[in-house]
């Protein structure tokens, strides 16, 4: 059988959700300086769209983690690209593409907390809360979603489909 992509969230739906998130974040951090810690590579397009609409001065940092192989989680997380600048004493907002089991985020929050941040919150575009294995609740959620394997708008299968402007269910 050949692989199928089924549309789940259109680019219009994504844009509306990103706009709402940016507005809430801009309101909550008004008057503060913010550091966005963008989780590569999946959150790349989301962060680019979000950062340009938040409306408070911010700095961008990128981190790369390894935890997911193909379509199943390995459960172990390692940092494969660390931050360039210091985030000690800063208000930090993690920008994630999707939270699934929560294992990646749990590790990341521990890692960033140890760097002496002033505050630490999480914004994720997609949240598969029904799949959680650890108790973690993102502070800002764009789209709560079902247990489907999604691709597009940054999300990949073996580095494919990231460039698609909408989000699709991947049916192998
Ligand atoms: P967690 O540690 O929460 O189980 O997994 C988080 C990471 O797994 C995400 O940052 C993402 O890279 C990957 N992931 C989880 N669900 C999906 C999905 O539906 N599609 C894709 N492409 N990646 C996913």
Rounded alpha-carbon distances, angstroms, from residue 11 to 34, 64, 152, 153: 27, 25, 10, 8
Q: At residue 64, what are phi and psi to the nearest 5 degrees?
A: -125, 130
pLDDT of residue 67: 74
Q: Which domain holds residue 61?
A: 12-146
* pTM for this entry: 0.95
What residues contact residue 90 under an 8 Å CB cut-off, 6+ apart?
33, 34, 35, 59, 117, 118
Across the chain, which has 172 residues, the per-10-residue mean pLDDT values are 93 98 98 97 98 98 80 73 97 98 95 98 97 95 96 98 98 96
In a domain, 155, yes or no: no
Residue 110, helix vs strand vs coil:
helix
CATH number at residue 25: 3.40.50.2020
- Assign 3-class secondary structure to 112-124: HHCCCCCEEEEEE
Ligand 1 contact, 111 CB (< 6 A): no
The DSSP bridge pattern shows strands 34-40 and 58-69 to be parallel
pLDDT of residue 84: 97
pLDDT of residue 76: 83
Domains: count for the chain = 1
Ligand 1 contact, 124 CB (< 6 A): no
In a domain, 5, yes or no: no
Q: Tokens representing 98? A: 């999707």
100 is catalytic: yes
Catalytic residue among 49, 100, 114, 158: 100
pLDDT of residue 72: 54
Ligand 1 contact, 67 CB (< 6 A): yes
- Region of 7 please: left (phi>0), alpha (psi -120 to 50) or beta: beta
**Dist CA 23 CA 168 (whole Å):** 26
pLDDT of residue 158: 96
- Alpha-carbon torsion angle 90, 93, 99, 105, nearest 10: 0
pLDDT of residue 73: 53
């Amino acid at each position: 059988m050949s692989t199928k992509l089924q549309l789940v969230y259109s680019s219009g739906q994504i844009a509306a959700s990103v706009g709402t998130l940016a507005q809430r974040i801009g309101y909550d951090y008004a008057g503060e300086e913010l550091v966005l810690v963008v989780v590569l590579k999946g959150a790349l397009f989301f962060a680019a769209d979000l950062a340009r609409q938040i409306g408070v001065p911010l700095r961008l940092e990128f981190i790369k983690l390894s935890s997911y192989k193909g379509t199943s989680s390995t459960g172990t997380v390692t940092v494969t690209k660390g931050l360039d600048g210091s985030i000690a004493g800063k208000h930090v907002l993690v920008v994630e593409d999707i939270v699934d089991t929560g294992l990646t985020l749990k590790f990341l929050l521990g890692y960033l907390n140890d760097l002496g941040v002033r505050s630490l919150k999480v914004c994720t575009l997609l949240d598969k809360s029904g799949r959680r294995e650890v108790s973690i609740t993102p502070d800002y959620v764009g789209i709560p979603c079902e247990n489907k394997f999604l691709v597009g708008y940054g999300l990949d299968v073996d580095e494919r489909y990231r460039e698609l402007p909408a989000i699709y269910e991947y049916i192998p």
